[in-house]
């Protein structure tokens, strides 16, 4: 069922251009995060023909150096880089950090010496596994995130880290004649922008992967809502959306063509939600299995007591089960198509999704 979202995404973004001007424009990117943990990738699991890039999540940081995160990473890297034969333009990046493994970013970016040690480990890592670059998923500079160490200096040190990484990547490219890509995963919030220098950072990175999802989550937010709406619904006083975040990042100095709009291939589930407005923007509580992969939504919820509704203002779908009093915010083929059209209309760099 996941392929339905992927195919809808590809069909819109990679449709034949309508004019010579469109034909000369850069093809929008489709970037997918792959998070296998300790599982092995198998043939047929990834379709390299439908992707620009894979960001393999996650590498970790230990003793100031980047290291593999899971036991089968070497085998999975070999599997992914072998897929270049199917699509010569397909690239494989490693993503370092993530929500739980961002603990050491503040330390490794603190001094010239610590940055140098980390960057050298990155270069060794990329050569060892024949990778095409690095995606930095620091969640988040200058903020605690998942209980991570942070400093006020993170704001400037993050800039220095990407600047010095870009310098090393450019030197390696000049030596090997093979381009290395540098990207970041960015939190879609005003707080993230306040704690970073995005106008400067944007000069050194190829793309900013905007995590335009998890705006609201069960457990941390007492009201239900769309966790990844394309547009802001004025009826929701929280005033958030992918469009609002894109505009804020552009105002902060990030060029539109470097922004990849993030799509979630999963939903969030609230329980004990009253049957008002089909559960939308109502009080709710966290429930077990509140994180629902798209495959689980299509197999166990749609047409199984859950009714799908569409918020035409937010361009977002949602489900409600009146009998069980359960509300689900998620992404489907209609909302993916709307976001792809938005990307094309606003001339963004493309899309990324979590996760394949």
Question: Where are the chain's structural domains?
Answer: 2-265+331-354
User: pLDDT tens for residues 271-325?
Assistant: 999 999 999 999 999 999 899 999 999 999 999 999 999 999 999 999 999 999 9
Q: Report phi then psi at 44, rounded to 5.
A: 90, -10
Cα Rg for the chain, rounded, in angstroms?
Answer: 20
What are 11-14's contacts with CB under 8 Å, separation 24+? Answer: 11/337, 12/336, 12/337, 12/340, 12/341, 12/344, 13/340, 13/343, 13/344, 13/350, 13/351
Query: What percentage of residues in the chain have a pLDDT greater than 70?
Result: 93
Look at residue 226 in the predicted model and tell me its pLDDT.
Answer: 98
- Pairing status of strand 91-97 against strand 53-62: parallel
Residue 11: pLDDT band with limits 50, 70, 90: low
Q: Model-level pTM?
A: 0.94
Q: Across-strand partners of 309?
A: 318
Query: Hey, how many other C-beta atoms are within 10 angstroms of the C-beta on 82?
Result: 12
Q: 203 in helix, strand or coil?
A: helix
> Please, which pLDDT band fits residue 8 given cuts at 50, 70 and 90?
low
Structure tokens at 99: 């929500």
* Half-sphere exposure in the Cβ direction for 89 (13 Å, CA): 9
Answer yes or no: is pLDDT of 162 > 90.
yes
**pLDDT above 80: residue 234:** yes
User: Which of 75, 86, 139, 172 is an active site residue?
Assistant: 139
Find the mean pLDDT for residues 162-176: 98
pLDDT for residue 24 is more than 70: no
Give the model's confidence band at 343: pLDDT under 50 very low, under 70 low, under 90 confident, else very high: very high
Indicate the SS3 state at residue 300: helix
Rounded distance, CA 236 to CA 337, Å? 23
Q: Which CATH class is domain 2-265+331-354?
A: alpha beta
pLDDT band at 2 (very low <50, low <70, confident <90, very high): very low
Nearest 10 degrees: Cα torsion 291, 294, 299, 305: 60
Question: Does the active-site annotation cover 250?
Answer: no
More confident site: 13 or 345: 345
Rounded average pLDDT over 86-102: 97
């Amino acid at each position: 069922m996941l392929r339905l979202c992927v195919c809808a995404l590809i069909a819109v973004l990679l449709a034949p251009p309508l004019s010579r001007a469109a034909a000369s424009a850069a093809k929008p990117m489709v970037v997918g995060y792959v998070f296998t943990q300790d599982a092995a990738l198998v043939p047929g699991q990834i379709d390299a023909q439908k992707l620009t890039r894979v960001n393999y999540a996650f590498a970790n940081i230990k003793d100031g150096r980047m290291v593999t995160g899971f036991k089968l990473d070497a085998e999975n890297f070999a599997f992914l880089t072998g897929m270049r034969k199917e699509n010569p333009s397909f690239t494989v990046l490693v993503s370092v950090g993530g929500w739980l493994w961002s603990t050491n970013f503040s330390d490794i970016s603190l001094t010239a010496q610590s940055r140098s040690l980390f960057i050298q480990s990155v270069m060794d890592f990329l050569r060892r596994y024949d990778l095409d670059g690095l995606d930095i998923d620091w969640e988040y500079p200058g903020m605690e995130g998942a209980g991570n160490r942070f400093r006020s200096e993170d704001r400037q040190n993050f800039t220095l880290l990407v600047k010095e990484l870009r310098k090393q990547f450019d030197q390696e490219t000049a030596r090997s004649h093979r381009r290395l890509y540098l990207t970041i995963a960015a939190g879609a919030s005003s707080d993230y922008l306040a704690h970073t220098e995005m106008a400067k950072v944007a000069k050194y990175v190829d793309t900013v992967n905007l995590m335009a999802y998890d705006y609201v989550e069960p457990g941390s937010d007492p009201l239900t809502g769309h966790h990844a709406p394309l547009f802001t619904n004025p009826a929701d006083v929280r005033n958030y959306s992918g469009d609002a975040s894109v505009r804020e990042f552009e105002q902060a100095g990030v060029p539109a063509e470097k922004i990849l709009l993030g799509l979630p291939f999963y939903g969030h589930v609230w329980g004990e939600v009253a049957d008002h407005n089909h559960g939308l923007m109502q009080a709710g509580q966290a429930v077990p299995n509140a994180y629902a992969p798209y495959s689980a939504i299509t197999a166990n919820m749609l047409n199984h007591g859950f009714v799908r509704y569409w918020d035409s203002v937010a361009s977002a779908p949602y489900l409600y089960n009146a009998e069980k009093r359960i509300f689900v915010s998620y992404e489907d083929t209609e909302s993916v198509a709307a976001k792809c059209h938005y990307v094309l209309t606003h001339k963004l760099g493309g899309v990324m999704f979590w996760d394949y």
